[in-house]
Amino acid sequence: MNESTRRTAESVRESVRDVGQQAREPAREMGQQASDVAQQAAARVGQAAGTVGAKLHGAAETLREKASPERMLGRAAGTVADRLDRVGSYLQEHDLSGVRRDVEAMIRRYPFAALLIGVGMGYLLARRLVR
């Protein structure tokens, strides 16, 4: 290979290297922006879960106030209110990743029940969308 060809090849290599470096920086910036957006979304979902938890506590309290504990229906309402309180507390105390881990553990522990719940939810959603 003569000297001129060698210089041209080296020049092309340097140009390709420069273009690669120029392309990496915007890609890195876009990745950082996507990460920031994902963190903001996770924070909003965490706040929403806390809000839902607080509303569940309120619903449980209202249910307790309206139900008469002496009657059978009142005792059932009390049990439902207790469960609402537990779910509300759970949502307020756990972050999004904790909830996800717990859901994954439940699915692994009870795969058939999880499958049936998923099918049932899909069926109900499909019926709702068809109407």
Q: Within this chain, do residues 40 and 104 fall inside the same structural domain, yes or no?
A: no
Give percent of the chain with pLDDT exceeding 90: 3
User: How far is CA 18 from each of CA 6, 25, 99, 100, 118, rounded to the nearest angstrom?
Assistant: 18, 11, 45, 43, 51
pLDDT for 59 equals 82
Q: Within this chain, do residues 74 and 119 fall inside the same structural domain, yes or no?
A: no
Enter the pTM of the model: 0.48
Q: What is the Cα Rg of the chain in Å?
A: 28
Total number of domains constituting the chain: 2
Query: Rounded CA gap, 53 and 59, in Å?
Result: 10
User: How far is CA 108 from each of CA 17, 87, 101, 117, 120, rounded to the nearest angstrom?
Assistant: 48, 20, 11, 14, 18
- pLDDT under 70 in the chain at which residues? 1, 19-20, 22-23, 27, 31, 35, 38, 42
Q: Within this chain, do residues 90 and 107 fall inside the same structural domain, yes or no?
A: no
pLDDT for 131 equals 72
Q: Within this chain, do residues 62 and 77 fall inside the same structural domain, yes or no?
A: yes
pLDDT for 30 equals 72
pLDDT for 35 equals 67
Q: Within this chain, do residues 90 and 103 fall inside the same structural domain, yes or no?
A: no
Q: Within this chain, do residues 8 and 39 fall inside the same structural domain, yes or no?
A: yes
pLDDT for 103 equals 85
User: How far is CA 11 from each of CA 1, 2, 7, 76, rounded to the nearest angstrom?
Assistant: 15, 14, 6, 81
**Where in the sequence is the domain holding 104, given as residue range(s)?**
98-131
pLDDT for 20 equals 67
Q: Within this chain, do residues 52 and 85 fall inside the same structural domain, yes or no?
A: yes
